[in-house]
Chain A
Amino acid sequence: MKRFGRELSVTASLLVLLAVLAVTAPAFFGKQQLLATLTAAAPVLVVACGMTLVILVRQIDISVGSQFAVCSIIAGLMARAGYPMVLVVPASIATGALLGAFNGWLVAALGLPSIVVTLATFVSWRETLRWVREGEFVKDLPDRFQWLGMGQSAGQGVILAVAALVFALLVYGLGWIALGRRVYAVGSDREAARLAGIRPGRVTWGAFVVLGALVGLAAVLNAIRFADVDPKTGTGLEMQVIAGVVVGGVAVSGGRGTLWGVLAGVLLLACISPALVFLKLPPQWEKAIQGGIILVAVAADRGGRSRLS
C-alpha cells in the first residue's frame, strides 16, 4: 500500500475527475471524444515512457520537444518524397535515436550535466529547424500518410495499439529483465551499481538512446493524425512529458517510480483540456490547472509520506 502510494493517489485523482465528468458531462465518454482524447495522449505517453528511463537513471532531457519536431519534419519530408511508410517510420525512429545518442554521449562520456546539455540541444535543434524550414508546413502529403491511409478509426486504433505495445514492453523490460533492473540500480546508487559490475555510463547512454527512439516513434504517431506537418509541433512537449512522469510518482532523484504511475499521470494531465471544454470552463485555464495539479500532486505525496515516517 505504502509502496505504491503515489500510483494509487494519482489513479484516484484520475478516477475522481472521470467520475465528475461522468455526472456533469456524459458526452466526454462518447466514443469519438474518448478516442480523440486517447489518441492525442498516446504520443505523449510514448515519450513519457522513455523519459521515465532517463529520470530513473537520475538524468533529465529537456530537448524532447525539439527532437520531436525534427523527427516529425523528417518523416513528413520523406513521405512526401515518395518513400513508403515502412521506411519513413524506421527513419524517424533512427533520427530520434541519433539525437538521443548525442545527448547521451555528452552526458555519459563527457560527464556534463544533463539539464544543461539538453537545454543546449533543445535550443539548437529547434532553431536549426526554424532556420532550415523557415516555419514552412510540410504539405501535400500522400494519402498513405494521414492515418496511414487507413481512415480515421483504423488509424486511431493503430496509434493506440502501438502506444499500448510500447508501454507493455517497457513495463516488462523495466520490471523483469536484468537490463531494466540495472536502470533502477544506476539511478539509486551509481557507485554501488558500478561495484556490482554494471557500467553506469552505458546504462545512462542507453536510456537517452531509447528515449530518442521513442520520441521518433511518437513523432510519427502524432504526425499521422494530421493532414500536414507543423514545424512548431512538439513545442512545450518536454514540460507536458516531465510533468506527467513526475505526477506519476517517478522521483527526480532517480531510482524510484513505475510506469503504471506514469500512465496515470499522463492520462490525468491529458484529460484536463477536454474536461475544461465539457465542464464549460474557459480553456485558458488549462495551464494554470495543470500547474496546480503538478504542485498538489507532489506536495500531497510528500506531506503524506512525512506523516507516515
Chain B
Amino acid sequence: MSTAISVGKPSWWRSEFFLVGVLLLEIAIFSRTGSNFATAINALEIVRLSAEIGLLAVWMTPVVLTGGIDLSVGSLLGLCAVCFGKLWRDAGLPWPVAAAATLVLGALGGGLNAMLITRLRLPPLIVTLGSLSLFRGLAEAITRGVDNFTGFPSGFLDWGQGYLVGGIPAQAPVWIAVAAGVIVLVHYTVFGRALRAIGHSPEGARYAGIAVNRCVAWVYVLSGTAAGLAALVYVARVGQAKADAGTGYELLAITAVVLGGTSIFGGTGSVWGTLLGVASLAVLRNGLQLSDQPGELAGILTGVLLLGALSAEVGFKKFSARRRASVTLASSNSPS
C-alpha cells in the first residue's frame, strides 16, 4: 500500500506508546467506575482470562512478521479441545498423555498449513481460511455437533482453575514462560531476525542465505502447537470441551497483534507490543464488565481502538514524512 511512507519510521514513535497510554487511560477510568477493579485479585484474574488469547497472539506475532496470517488458530483450538476430551474420556488415556497428544495434534494442524503454504506456495490467507473451515468442521463432525466433554479430573482442572502461592493463577507460569520464550526467539535470535527479513522481502531473504521455506514452515507449526496448548488451558479453565470452543479467537489474536504495532504486511513489529495489545483488550473487557457495562461495548471499543491505533500511526508517519521531505527540499535548494 503506502510503501514510501512505511519505510521511514521515525525512531521515537512506537505504537507501544499509544498502547501504554490506552492502558493507563483504561485503568484510570475503570478504577473509578468499576467495583473491585483496582485490586490485586482482579489483576491476577485478568492474567487468567487473557491466557488463551495471549498464547495465540504471541505466536501469531512471528506469523504476521513473515507477512503471513493464521486464521485457523481458533478452529484448531476447538479441534484440539474436542480431541483432548475424546482421548481422555473415550480412549481412556490418562490426561497427561492425552494432553501431550493434543499438543502433537496442534503441531500437525499447523504442519498442514505450513505444507500448503511453503510447498505449494499458496497465500496464507487462503490456506488458513480453508483450514479454519476444515478444523472447525472436523470438531463438529467428531462431536456430531452436540457432544460435550466434562468431568475432567481435578489434577487437570487445577491447571486452569487453581492457584499457586499468593493467589497467582495456575496458568500464569505457562503463559509467562511461553511469552518469554517467544520474546527471546523473535527479538534475540537469528531465527527472529530471519523472520523480519522474510517479511520485508522473501526473495531478498533467500538471496541472503535464509532457508525461507523452513523458517516459514516452523512458524506455522509453532502457531498450531500454541493452539493446542491454548486448547488445554481453555479446557482446564472452563471445565468442558465443545466443538465451538475458541470461535472467533483468531480475530481477537490478530487484533492484539495489530494493535501492538506489528505491520500486517510483515517485516516490523514486536512481541512486547502484542503483549500490550493483549493486556489492553483484556483490561477493556474486564473493566467494562466490572463497571456493569454491556459486553457488546467491549467489542465495539475493540474495533474503535484498532482503527484509532492504525490511523494514529499512519497519520503520524504521513506528517513526519512530509516534514522530512520539506527539510530535504529546503537543503537541496540552498546554494552551497
Contact = CB atoms under 8 A, between A and B. Distances in A.
B300 interface: yes
B262 to A, nearest CB: 11
A112 B127 CA distance: 23
Contact of A284 (B2, B145, B303): B145
Nearest to B264: A113
Contacts of B97: none
A122 B314 contact: no
B258 interface: yes
A123 B133 contact: no
A120 B1 CA distance: 19
Nearest to A63: B303
Given A128-B296, A298-B126, A112 B307 contact: yes
B131 to A, nearest CB: 6
A286 B143 CA distance: 13
Interface stretch (A208-216, A222-230, A257-265, A287-295): A287-295
Contacts of A306: 120
Contacts of B135: 291
B303 A123 contact: yes
B294 A131 contact: yes
A252 B136 CA distance: 23
Interface string A41-75: 00000000000000000001000000000000000
B138 A288 contact: yes
Q: For the side of the interface on B, what is the size category? A: 35 or more
B294 A120 contact: no
Interface stretch (A142-150, A168-176, A239-247): A239-247
B296 A294 contact: no
Interface in B25-60: none
Nearest to B113: A295
B310 A295 contact: no
Contacts of B123: 252-253
Interface in A87-120: 106, 110-113, 115-117, 119-120
A32 interface: no
Dominant secondary structure of chain A at its interface with chain B:
helix
Contacts of A115: 69, 125, 264
Nearest to A66: B303
B130 A123 contact: no
Contacts of A112: 307, 310-311, 314
Contacts of B304: 120, 124
A295 B294 contact: no
B268 interface: no
A113 B265 contact: yes
A288 B79 CA distance: 11
Contacts of A110: 311, 314-315
A111 B134 contact: no
Contacts of B121: 302
A284 B264 contact: no
Contact of B302 (A123, A242, A252, A298): A123
Interface string A188-205: 000000000000000000
Dominant secondary structure of chain B at its interface with chain A:
helix
Interface in B104-133: 116, 120-123, 125-127, 129-133
Given A124-B300, A131-B294, A291 B307 contact: no
A22 interface: no
A121 interface: yes
B251 interface: yes
A111 B137 contact: no
Given A116-B264, A287-B140, A295-B134, A252 B125 contact: yes
B126 A252 contact: yes
A126 interface: yes
A302 B120 contact: yes
A282 B144 CA distance: 8
B178 interface: no
A117 B307 contact: yes
B203 to A, nearest CB: 15
A303 interface: yes
B103 interface: no
Given A116-B264, A287-B133, A299 B122 contact: yes
A29 interface: no
A181 interface: no
Nearest to B134: A291
B205 interface: no
B307 A303 contact: no
Nearest to B133: A291
Contact of B133 (A111, A119, A243): A243
Contacts of A4: none
Nearest to B297: A131
B299 interface: yes
Given A239-B129, A284-B140, 17 more contacts: A112-B314, A119-B306, A120-B304, A121-B303, A126-B299, A128-B300, A239-B132, A284-B141, A284-B143, A284-B145, A287-B140, A288-B134, A290-B133, A291-B134, A294-B133, A295-B127, A302-B120
18 contacts: A113-B264, A113-B265, A115-B125, A119-B254, A119-B303, A122-B251, A131-B296, A239-B132, A252-B125, A282-B144, A287-B134, A291-B134, A291-B136, A291-B137, A294-B130, A298-B120, A298-B130, A299-B120
Interface of A: 60, 106, 110-113, 115-117, 119-124, 126-128, 130-131, 239, 242-243, 246, 252-253, 282, 284-292, 294-295, 298-299, 302-303, 306
Interface of B: 1-2, 5, 69, 116, 120-123, 125-127, 129-138, 140-141, 143-145, 251, 254-255, 258, 264-265, 294, 296-300, 302-304, 306-307, 310-311, 314-315
Q: Nearest 10 A-B pairs (CB), nearest first?
A: A288-B137, A291-B134, A287-B137, A127-B299, A291-B133, A124-B303, A294-B130, A131-B296, A120-B303, A120-B306
